[in-house]
Amino acid sequence: MNIIVCAKQVVDVSEMKIDSSTKKPILQGVPQKISDIDKNAMEEAIKIKDKHGGKITTVTVGTPDAKERIKELLAMGADEGVLVTLPEKYDYHVVSTLLAEAIKKIDAYDVILCGEASIDMFSGQVGPRLAGLLNIPQITYAQKLDAAKDKVVCDRNMGDKSVTTESSYPVLITVTKEINVPRLPSLMQILGAANKPIKEWTADSVKSGLKPMVDTVDLKGVSMERKNVVYKNDIDESVKHLVDSLAKEGVLR
Amino acid sequence: MVLVYSDDKKIAFELLSKATEIAKGLGKKVNAVVINDEAVAKEYVAHGASNVIVAQTDVKEFKAEEYTDILEKAIKETGAESILIGSTKKGKELASRLAGKLNAGCIIDANNIYVKDKKLVTERMVYSGNAISVQQFNSKPNIVTIPSKVFDPLPKDAKKTGTITKKKFDVGKYASKILKVQEMKSGGVNVEDAEIIVSCGRGFKNKDDIKLVQNLADVLKGKTVGCSRPIAADLKWLPEDHWIGLSGHKVKPKLYIAAGISGQIQHIAGMRDSGLVVAINKDPDALIFKSADYGIVGDLYQVLPKLTAAVKEKMG
């Protein structure tokens, strides 16, 4: 079974600070990591390989420093990493096309696994977009995955409904955070990952002349104007003050 | 031409309203697509569509693969330049696949959309709701998904006229198939429509203690209980329809009370549009207080019963 895992390097949003004057996020110097849900996709790939054998290749479209992060995936259990250098200007069209072309270049594949969305942008666009580009079936929001030799069955979390979907291979599957708990690699695995190959491809060598169809023109801050009145003394007093305030605000009707 | 599609007709009405405005700015018309349902097509006309295509297909249930084929054909046939799709889970995977097939620009979950210099511009929340990304399309077609309640629908106007075109669309054959559809365990709660929400987080020690927030919600006549990720996703003390946050539901009640919730940005992303926010937490440094209008520093096990009694007395 040839398994592809798409993984994105993102800023660790929980470590991000906000500039108090502009209210814009400060992105410089924020630690980078593999987007959390992509690690759930990686974990699911390992389970499929454990059951049926095969090879796991991770593909990342990112900046050159993503190489360090890819080593984490190799330590978890991927056999090989591919890093396609992110061009200066990009959008979902550019990134998805680079992923599609890189995947075609790697080898024949049976399963492509993605996280349902990246934790920085949370669009969830890349997975199904890639399935459309490759014209293969898509199973999104998988919260349970059962891979047999010739087909896969997933339970999809559609909010109010759980939809069980089956597909033969090749298929693209996006997974939710609830599907598993990604393993933490052992020290031996971390050391072993240093010997696993990471191929580095330029965007042009994968697909030349790609131009974004959407330009990001601004990143605006979000002002969260709240009153921040906090009562912290005697609980009875605090409750009384709070109820009076709520009544004044007109929400106790 | 602006084309509207949603598997949720309430969102479609909201999108038809916005599409009418955008179409005016671009000097274009508003079309819509429905699958098989002619009765809904008539409602779309009353809500602003000048033409509704009723796609006739024998595809029984939604699958992104087949529905993408239908929309792709409808777009090619109508020459639609801007496609607005309701941001449901189905709508998002459909829009993304469609964008891949058409090599089109696509924005998921826009909470604002307008025309500037004849180009479509969108805004969406990024970085867990800590920033707004402003993006402009530089090519056509444009695909944008918009969540429910971002825009108000136009009032229904039975006098509005429009054409309804029935059309058979062939779809491709795909190896995937639906085996089973099950209702998720749910209490029939719709947090997104609630006016008052009382939420619980990991400050709660036992599943039974959730009745403390339920009691407060009841006296506030809100009756709606929400929760943060650990309660729904990890501990599973409440079904996921109570989950408020980045990957749960996004809510905007007039009053939001967060008890025992630390205020991780992922949770804030789900409730930041609330009218008034109240936080109860024993940790005076809890992040939630920064996102609250009023707060009480104290043990929720003491505060909630007292607050419930006091609210009950005040409301009579």
What is chain A's length?
253
Instruction: Clarify whether residues A131 and A233 are in a common domain.
Output: no
* pLDDT attached to residue A210: 96
User: Is A212 among the domain residues?
Assistant: no
* pLDDT attached to residue A40: 98
User: Is A163 among the domain residues?
Assistant: yes
At A185, list the tokens: 């690699």
Tell me if A119 sits within 8 A of A95, measured CB to CB. no
**CA–CA separation, B243 vs B199, rounded Å?**
9
Is the CA virtual torsion B269, B274, B276, B277 positive or negative? negative
Indicate the number of domains in chain A: 2
Instruction: Clarify whether residues A50 and A76 are in a common domain.
Output: yes
DSSP single-letter state for residue B291 = G
Interchain proximity B101–A127, CB inside 8 Å: no
Instruction: Clarify whether residues A114 and A228 are in a common domain.
Output: no
Interchain proximity B255–A251, CB inside 8 Å: yes
Instruction: Clarify whether residues A119 and A16 are in a common domain.
Output: yes
A182-195 confidence digits (pLDDT tens)? 999 999 999 999 99
User: Is A36 among the domain residues?
Assistant: yes
Neighbouring-strand partners of residue A34: A9
pLDDT in tens, chain B (316 residues): 999 999 999 999 999 999 999 998 888 999 999 999 999 999 999 999 999 999 999 888 899 999 999 999 999 999 999 999 999 999 999 999 999 999 999 999 999 999 999 899 999 999 988 899 999 999 999 999 999 888 989 889 989 999 999 999 999 999 999 999 998 765 567 898 899 999 999 999 999 999 999 999 999 987 789 999 999 988 999 988 899 998 889 898 999 999 999 998 889 989 988 999 999 999 999 999 999 999 999 999 999 999 999 999 988 7
Instruction: Clarify whether residues A79 and A126 are in a common domain.
Output: yes
Residue corresponding to tokens 């591919």: A82
Tell me if A219 sits within 8 A of B286, measured CB to CB. no
Q: Does B57 touch chain A (CB under 8 A)?
A: no
Interchain proximity B314–A243, CB inside 8 Å: yes
At A151, list the tokens: 């087909």
**CA–CA separation, A100 vs B211, rounded Å?**
50
Tell me if B34 sits within 8 A of B53, measured CB to CB. yes
User: Is A60 among the domain residues?
Assistant: yes
* pLDDT attached to residue A19: 85
User: Is A94 among the domain residues?
Assistant: yes
The pLDDT of residue A107 is above 90: no
CATH code of the domain containing A26: 3.40.50.620
Instruction: Clarify whether residues A40 and A152 are in a common domain.
Output: yes
H/E element holding A2? strand A2-6
Contact residues, B window 273-292, toward A, CB-based 8 Å cutoff: 275-279, 284, 289-292
* pLDDT attached to residue B248: 86
Percentage of chain A modeled with pLDDT above 90: 86
A17-30 confidence digits (pLDDT tens)? 888 788 888 989 99
Range of the domain at A228: 223-253
Instruction: Clarify whether residues A145 and A237 are in a common domain.
Output: no
Tell me if B169 sits within 8 A of B54, measured CB to CB. no
Residue corresponding to tokens 């009694």: B309
Measured at the CA of B39, the angle between CA B33 and CA B41, to 5 degrees, comes to 25
* The residue type at B268: I
Instruction: Clarify whether residues A71 and A153 are in a common domain.
Output: yes
Contact residues, B window 116-155, toward A, CB-based 8 Å cutoff: 121, 123-139
User: Is A216 among the domain residues?
Assistant: no
Instruction: Clarify whether residues A115 and A34 are in a common domain.
Output: yes
Instruction: Clarify whether residues A15 and A112 are in a common domain.
Output: yes
The pLDDT of residue A158 is above 70: yes
A205-243 confidence digits (pLDDT tens)? 999 999 999 999 999 988 778 999 999 989 999 999 999
Instruction: Clarify whether residues A131 and A231 are in a common domain.
Output: no
- Chain A residue at shortest CA distance from B243: A159
Tell me if B66 sits within 8 A of A138, measured CB to CB. no
User: Is A162 among the domain residues?
Assistant: yes
How many interchain CB pairs under 8 A, A with B? 272
Instruction: Clarify whether residues A101 and A68 are in a common domain.
Output: yes
Contact residues, B window 73-102, toward A, CB-based 8 Å cutoff: 88-90, 92-101
Strand A2-6 vs strand B131-137: parallel, antiparallel, or unpaired?
unpaired
User: Is A214 among the domain residues?
Assistant: no
The pLDDT of residue A83 is above 90: yes
Tell which residue, B215, B149, B129, has the closest CA to residue B15: B149
Residues 6+ apart with CB under 8 A from A33: A9, A10, A12, A69
- Residue B208's CB is within 10 A of a number of other CB atoms, namely 9
**CA–CA separation, A118 vs B71, rounded Å?**
26
CA terminus-to-terminus distance, chain B? 55
What is the number of helices (H) and of strands (E) in chain A?
A: 7, 15
* The residue type at B13: F
Interchain proximity A158–B106, CB inside 8 Å: no
Strand A138-147 vs strand A198-201: parallel, antiparallel, or unpaired?
unpaired
